[in-house]
Amino acid sequence: MSATIVWFRQDLRLQDNLALAAAIKRGGPVIPVYILDAAGEGRWPVGGASRWWLHHSLSRLEESLRARCSRLVFAQGSSGEVLRTLMAQTGASAVYWNRRYEPASIARDKAIKTELVAAGLEARSFNSALLFEPHTVQNKSGGPFQVFTPYWKHCLAQPIDAPEKLPVANFPSPAQWPLSHELAELDLLPKIKWDPGLARVWEPGEAAGQKRLKRFADGALEAYDEQRDFPGIDGTSALSPHLHFGEIGPRQIWAAVKALSKDSGVFPVNRGGMVYLKEVGWREFAHHLLYHFPQTPEEPLRKEFAEFPWQKNPNLLRAWQQGLTGYPIVDAGLRQLWRTGWMHNRVRMIVASFLVKHLRLSWQEGAAWFWDTLVDADLASNTLGWQWSAGCGADAAPYFRIFNPILQGKKFDATGEYVRRWVPELEKLPVEFIHEPWVASMEVLAAAGITLGRNYPQPVVEHAKARTSALAALESIRNTARP
């Protein structure tokens, strides 16, 4: 049997990798390949923080392959051209890969598959990224769902496959390997060393993802529904970057959570497990929406929001990006993002609401910033989250629901532990002022070493006035839409 090329993309694992397992079962040599194809990503090439993760994840995958008598071939350029060259060099007659669901990836993969099949070669794709592929889920009218609850109810009535086990210990390798770049030649690591904070927090790779899943399942999962909204508590799985890069798959997560249950039903008995698997469902829903509404990374799903009077204010945008808004819970989240490449999900909602409603800057500005700074930057989830916050997407929070950042801080970070961790200039401030330092007396501020406007900013906007302005902007597009 001739060789099979396994084209790795966002499936950087060996277990539960359907394309890899199928290539091994096909027989003959298996040639794992990773191609850095920036042009093939369309408008959304990999952002800065994600490039850091990708470098280290590829390094771990290369190590795992070498431990199984194989290796990872690195290449750059047009995916179709690289694959054709590799097939000519190796005599491979098949290319297998796992599907992606971003618009640019779908178009690229379809073109490559069509060309290879027309040349008499085998091209097969598989689903290792989702529990439910977007094209297989339809509402009663035969169209896509736009509300999560009926979508998820429909999905839970469908069977969920068990994870695919790697069929062999060592991989059959070609007699001669094709030429390969060194990983360093892909130039993924930042030239300005802003990334030490990422390395202190994260360990990319399949083994690390499995370790994090086990720690979560054995620990925080049971109380997940009670603790997941409190950023000062280690109450979430933090598996999102591992999921995004395919170091772990949703079937593996589902099986791990179900294994803790004595129940034979769809959901485990424990409520924490039920709520957590529902969050996995939101990830599925995000991909469902992106697949059926491919314009949404740039355009609002609700058409009336195309006329929304967003502001353009580079100074306010910069203050938000740098965590210098004067609202402690907002600033803490954005500083956590900059230093670790990640932000707690509750805080993501708070900072997104602040951008689009208090500052009235467009959700696209926020989505672009998250795309470049998140290690788990996922086009589907990023789009869903920002359109949800802006009130312009499917099943979105209404725009008139405006988070009060002071009350949000008091509710979800009551003691200020999260704020003190990421905004150290407020560390000595008494708890009653930690979420609104501007109401503290001059004496209290001085005792805490704070001079507002000097070592911590005054609020860039006043909550009440910003809320009124946001509601007036919403009313303007309602009036425009009326006959």
CA atoms of 386 and 341, how far apart (whole Å): 17
Averaged pLDDT score across all residues of the chain: 95
Selection from 332, 321, 316, 327 nearest residue 457 by Cα: 327
What's the whole-number mean pLDDT along residues 344-372? 98
CA atoms of 369 and 349, how far apart (whole Å): 14
At residue 258, the pLDDT reads 87
Residue 263: pLDDT band (50, 70, 90) is: low
At residue 15, the pLDDT reads 97
Set 127, 222, 282, 427: catalytic member: 282
CA atoms of 319 and 355, how far apart (whole Å): 10
Residue 386 is among the residues annotated as catalytic for this protein: yes
Q: Give CATH for domain 4-128.
A: 3.40.50.620
Residue 56 has pLDDT above 70, yes or no: yes
Residue 264 has pLDDT above 60, yes or no: no
| Bridge partner residues of 122 (DSSP) | 94
Percent of the chain with pLDDT over 90: 91
Place of tokens 């097969």: 124
From first CA to last CA, the distance across the chain in angstroms is 68
Alpha helices in 179-239 (DSSP H): 196-201, 206-218, 224-227
What's the whole-number mean pLDDT along residues 46-51? 97
With a CB cutoff of 8 Å and minimum separation 6, the contacts of 304 are: 477, 478, 480, 481
Set 127, 313, 345, 404: catalytic member: 345
Q: Which long-range contacts (CB under 8 A, 24 or more apart) does 300-304 make?
A: 300/363, 300/387, 300/390, 300/392, 300/393, 301/146, 301/387, 301/392, 301/393, 301/394, 302/391, 302/392, 302/393, 302/396, 304/477, 304/478, 304/480, 304/481
Set 133, 177, 226, 310: catalytic member: 310
At residue 483, the pLDDT reads 41
The CATH superfamily label for domain 303-481 reads DNA Cyclobutane Dipyrimidine Photolyase, subunit A, domain 3 (1.10.579.10)
DSSP secondary structure string for all residues of 128-179:
-S-SS-GGG---TTSS---SHHHHHHHHHTS--PPPPPPS-SS----SSPPP
Distances from the Cα of 424 to the Cα of 268, 345, 370, angstroms? 40, 21, 23
For 117-164, write each residue's pLDDT tens digit: 999 999 999 999 999 999 999 999 999 999 999 999 999 999 999 999
CA atoms of 233 and 227, how far apart (whole Å): 7
At residue 268, the pLDDT reads 46
Question: What's the token pair of residue 278?
Answer: 């529902």
Distance of CA 186 to the CA centre of its chain: 22
At residue 265, the pLDDT reads 54
Instruction: Parse the chain into domains and list their residue ranges.
Output: 4-128, 130-162+206-292, 303-481
Element (DSSP H or E) covering residue 31: strand 30-36
Which DSSP letter does residue 372 get?
H
For 73-92, write each residue's pLDDT tens digit: 999 999 999 999 999 999 99
Residue 182 has pLDDT above 80, yes or no: yes
Percent of the chain with pLDDT over 70: 97
Residue 395: pLDDT band (50, 70, 90) is: confident
Residue 442 has pLDDT above 60, yes or no: yes
What's the whole-number mean pLDDT along residues 289-318? 96
In degrees to the nearest 10, what's the CA dihedral of 220, 225, 230, 236? 40
For 189-244, write each residue's pLDDT tens digit: 998 888 899 999 999 999 999 999 999 999 999 999 999 999 999 999 999 999 99
Residue 345 is among the residues annotated as catalytic for this protein: yes
With a CB cutoff of 8 Å and minimum separation 6, the contacts of 252 are: 15, 16, 163, 210, 213
Set 363, 369, 371, 422: catalytic member: 363
The fold for domain 130-162+206-292 equals 1.25.40
Residue 282 is among the residues annotated as catalytic for this protein: yes
Query: Are residues 320 and 355 in contact, defined by beta-carbon separation less than 8 angstroms?
Result: yes
Set 386, 388, 422, 436: catalytic member: 386
Distances from the Cα of 289 to the Cα of 241, 304, 374, angstroms? 20, 18, 21
Set 41, 115, 133, 279: catalytic member: 279
Element (DSSP H or E) covering residue 123: strand 122-126
Distances from the Cα of 403 to the Cα of 144, 330, 398, 462, angstroms? 30, 11, 11, 13
